[in-house]
Structure 1
Amino acid sequence: MRLKQKIKVLIVDDSLLFRETLSREISKDPDVEVVGTATDPYMARDMIIKLKPDVVTLDVEMPKMNGIEFLKKLMPQYPLPVIVVSSVSKNILDALDAGAVEFVTKPNFSRTGGMNSFVNELIVKIKIASTAKVGNLKKDYAPIKAIANSGVNTMNMIIAIGASTGGTDAIYAVVSRLPRDMPPIVIVQHMPPVFTKLYADRLNNTCELEVKEAEDGDVLKPGRVLIAPGSYQMRIVKRGTGYIVKCTQEEKVSGHCPSVDVLFSSVAEAAGKQSIGVILTGMGKDGAEGLLKMKKKGAYTIGQDEKTSIVYGMPMVAYNIGGVEKQLPLEKISDEIVRVLSK
């Protein structure tokens, strides 16, 4: 489906060969127009002011100023969708924290089809990023008090969260405000391998809760958060009086692996009304059907609202098909979870 206007893209990378290759390849898409290329952040700043691109692709390691420092200076003055294109994995999460909406890892040129796969992924993410609302989620979220005498048996409850584009910030905004005495939490964030562990480790270092990348057979425990590993489908399975996770390498579902639909559907079957489902910012519809299944089984379901979503796709579809019981701005979701558990 052709877009009404081409998406104007600025490419920022210090490699001449990579800039020219990227410009040539993504320009083949009829909906994308490369309006310029820049070799460093200072040139990029001038071109952003002059060309007003819709989306910027940005390398992390560059001369004069690295991409993360550039993002920190750029976003407060010129908030626009930025996709990080880098092979430096540990810095990508820093770039997302600094305001980038998406990332794509640079291709392995020794692998057959690596460049084609990379270009296809980047074009998809450019189109997603062009619809993103940036600059509205960088807030401070004060910790809330731990649940006291809630009357809820937290060991029998499960909280399931799903997100995609913009989800790293959104998940942090929710999980970082939750107290330590929470029921087990299971999360799918659309991310490739390696990055899910990096993200889990980062959350673990900044939250009250224990956060780890899930491994097959992990036990769900109060105070523990399990992040689905990249390229694995994660399901919840009843085991005795509790639950474990099953992580298996499978085909994509709803276009993703891990898939929010897979997780939510398993929670619906295993936990039913003893669960809370939360769907956050993201493009597409992954998680919408699964959240509806949870609601039909008696779970309490929450959807992020349009105003605070970077991309109002997944929560919109879930809301439109009747899967969302309560729609809320991001900053109120943690409080709502605690309120429901405290009944």
Structure 2
Amino acid sequence: MANPRVFVIDNSIAFLDALVKELNKRLPNGSAIDSATQPAEAQKKLASFKPTAIVLNLAIGAMVINQDKFLPMLVKQYPNVSIIVYGISNNVAQAAKYLGASDYFKKPGFGERTQPFYDGIIKALQSNNASDSSPRKLSTTATEAKVVPSSPARPSAPAQSSSPPSVEPVINIPSGHGTIDLIAIGASTGGTEALSAILPALRPPLPGIVIVQHIPPMFSRLFSDRLNGICALTVKEAANGDIVQPNHVYIAPGGKHMSIMRQGSNYVIECKAGPPVHSVCPAVDILFDSVADIAGNKAMGVILTGIGKDGAAGLLKMRQKGSPTIGQDAATCTVYGMPKVAFSMGAVQQQLPLSSIPTAIHKIAR
């Protein structure tokens, strides 16, 4: 590795010091390392430091600075610099990549081995420093299960120096529906990663979003809280009686079915225990059925990656009531099950890759 210049940003002084110390031990002589604990301090130092790589805590990267998240801001300011990100959860790897990270690693928790984490950071620095022409290429070498390089949010074509950028699929704007005032999303296997890519890419103004992700109790709250830290929209675990607000996302609690009722002009969430549907609770079909009945053609339906057929019948009912509907395509699904069944029965108006779904939501729902 040829003398990298690495800048580390973390608001935990103890972890920052430990990481800098480890980099000093492992990087070759002649390398330069500097650090900061806050975005403002980092911006001042980075201007003169001229980094070849930035190592960043995702919690800092998700902070909003001048109406933009800090990580995308760094990506714009340093387009040829590798930005290696770490955080407390495996579930946000896709979100970090969506925001522009070159690589993502899970930060070791209390009592966990730190060596695999440091090995991963060093390997990512070596990999990215070896090819200046493609600094954003993701490392695919995992050192252990605790080290999780992010996977691309979309498949990319082989790089060609003279080729034009890949063309995004055409997003059809359906007609005949009412003003969209509710968005319903269903997902299963691979859905936490898909949602971690979609939701951080959404920006207000948007109608309220209700989501069923097949997820165990307790994990739904942790997942919601982590998404809330990296999204422009407010994300929360749904609770019985919640009034659906614009620019808010409600994720069904694990172990409870979620449906929608109407009280006056408001949509109100109902969460309650019940027998499994398609062997799962919460079930996407329970949500989609209620949305079709209550919101009619003023709702939008999205079905994402997952095993089985949950949500297909409910999405068809939504489409029959006039709702625009989207399904994730086979190429970007972890498991092309639920979207495939929905598409085969005519419930999906258009199939799109994961990376195009945020744009479609913006275009159709606004």
TM over 0.5: yes
Partner of 2:302: 278
Q: Residues 134-166 of structure 1, C-alpha deviation per residue, up to 9 Å, x if partnerless? A: x44379xxxxxxxxxxxx997x61100111111
8 A Cα contact 2:154 2:353, kept in partner: no
Cα distance, 1:69 vs structure 2: 7.5
Give the one of 140, 146, 155 matched to 1:77: 140
Structure 1 distance, partners of 2:299, 2:210, is 11
**Superposition RMSD in Å:** 3.1
Partner of 2:325: 301
* CA 1:331–1:193: 2 relative to 1, 3 Å: same
Q: Which has the larger radius of gyration?
A: 2
1:236 partner amino acid: I
**Residue 137 in structure 1 maps to residue 153 in structure 2:** yes
Structure 2 distance, partners of 1:248, 1:209, is 25
Partner of 1:187: 211
1:184 partner amino acid: G
Q: Residues 287-312 of structure 1, C-alpha deviation per residue, up to 9 Å, x if partnerless? A: 11111111111110000001111111
8 A Cα contact 1:71 1:98, kept in partner: no
Structure 2: runs of 5 or more not aligned: 1-107, 125-137, 156-176
Partner of 1:329: 353
Partner of 1:158: 182
2:194 partner amino acid: A
Give the one of 200, 205, 210 matched to 2:234: 210
Structure 2 distance, partners of 1:71, 1:192, is 31
Q: Secondary structure at the match of 1:176?
A: helix
Structure 1 distance, partners of 2:296, 2:147, is 34
Q: TM-score, normalised by structure 1?
A: 0.59
Partner of 1:269: 293
Identity %: 45
Cα distance, 1:76 vs structure 2: 3.2
Give the one of 281, 286, 289 matched to 2:313: 289
Structure 1 distance, partners of 2:285, 2:118, is 33
Cα distance, 1:238 vs structure 2: 1.1
Structure 1 distance, partners of 2:231, 2:242, is 20
Cα distance, 1:172 vs structure 2: 2.1
1:299 partner amino acid: S
Structure 1: runs of 5 or more not aligned: 1-58, 85-94, 100-134, 140-151
Structure 2 distance, partners of 1:68, 1:76, is 14
- Report 1:103-122 matches (<5 A): none
Give the one of 231, 235, 249 matched to 2:259: 235
Number of aligned pairs?
224
* CA 1:311–1:78: 2 relative to 1, 3 Å: farther
